[in-house]
Amino acid sequence: MQTNQAFTILQNAGGVRAARIITENQPKLTTFTVWRMAKKLRRGVPVAKIIHRKWFYGLPFYTNAHTLDPRPDTETLVSAVISDITPGQSTKILDLGTGTGCIIGAIIKNIADAHGVAVEKSWRAALVAKRNFRDLKIFDRVKIRRASFTKQNAIREKFDVIVSNPPYIAIGDARVDAGALHDPKLALYATDGGFAAYREIAKNARKWIRANGKIYLEIGIDMGASVREIFELNGWKFIRGENDLSGTERVLIFQL
């Protein structure tokens, strides 16, 4: 199929932006694949889930139905970590609930002496992270561990930096974009009004952080005060918050 024909079909199904991204990233477009993609666009499937690629912090990451698509808001988390690390300093990083591996992957690609462990409960998501670390050529600097951060003994090492974008949408909350309907629920929703993962991390991460180490957390809209209270009750000291590009408080940083 000619590119202009494919573009028109995809544009009618999902708009100009979706058509442009797909045609630029899929050089071989047959009639069958174009109509199949158009059908997915009409169902609200995100473009990243169709082409299995999402750019994050200037890097391409493979994504599929078993992982949360990397989002621009999460780049705030990566930037906060990178800005705090002294160049030339060997930094050991723990990523809780790594998913695609985009957070720890972007950090390690930008910090020459960084290395660490990516923890993931889902074996399917762990395979995606493994693929991305291999493609980014950092597989020798990141170990993948199948485990849950709800179990303190799952991790027996200590780290300079802990990062996490945990599930924080309250079960039953309908305020999610259409694209999130195609992300795994495990990566999106949490009990206790969306705060369950923060409570587990606040308790367990005390055993995983080195002296003077910091933990960096992504949070949802208007969750800052409650998350700060959870961590302070567990002995953490609030360092600062970071806003995303829209001005929303998106990242909280703590230290023991």
Short-list 119, 51, 110, CA closest to 84? 110
pLDDT of residue 119: 97
pLDDT of residue 108: 96
Domains and CATH numbers, the chain: 3-43 (no CATH), 72-255 (3.40.50.150)
CA distance 220 to 76: 13
Contact (CB, 8 A) for 19 and 11 = yes
CA distance 91 to 102: 17
Contact (CB, 8 A) for 219 and 249 = yes
pLDDT of residue 202: 98
Structure tokens at 246: 């829209």
pLDDT of residue 128: 98
CA distance 227 to 252: 8
Measuring CA to CA, how many Å separate 62 from each of 43, 226, 253? 21, 33, 28
pLDDT tens by residue, the chain, 256 residues: 788 888 899 999 999 999 999 998 887 889 999 999 999 999 889 999 999 999 999 999 999 999 999 999 999 999 999 999 988 889 999 999 999 999 999 999 999 999 999 999 999 999 999 999 999 999 999 999 999 999 989 899 999 999 999 999 988 887 777 777 888 988 998 999 999 999 999 999 999 999 999 999 999 999 999 999 999 999 999 999 999 999 999 999 999 9
CA distance 110 to 45: 31
CA distance 138 to 129: 11
pLDDT of residue 25: 85
pLDDT of residue 4: 86
> Residues, the chain, total?
256
CA distance 26 to 32: 13
CA distance 239 to 93: 18
Contact (CB, 8 A) for 119 and 93 = no
pLDDT of residue 2: 82
pTM value?
0.93
pLDDT of residue 180: 78
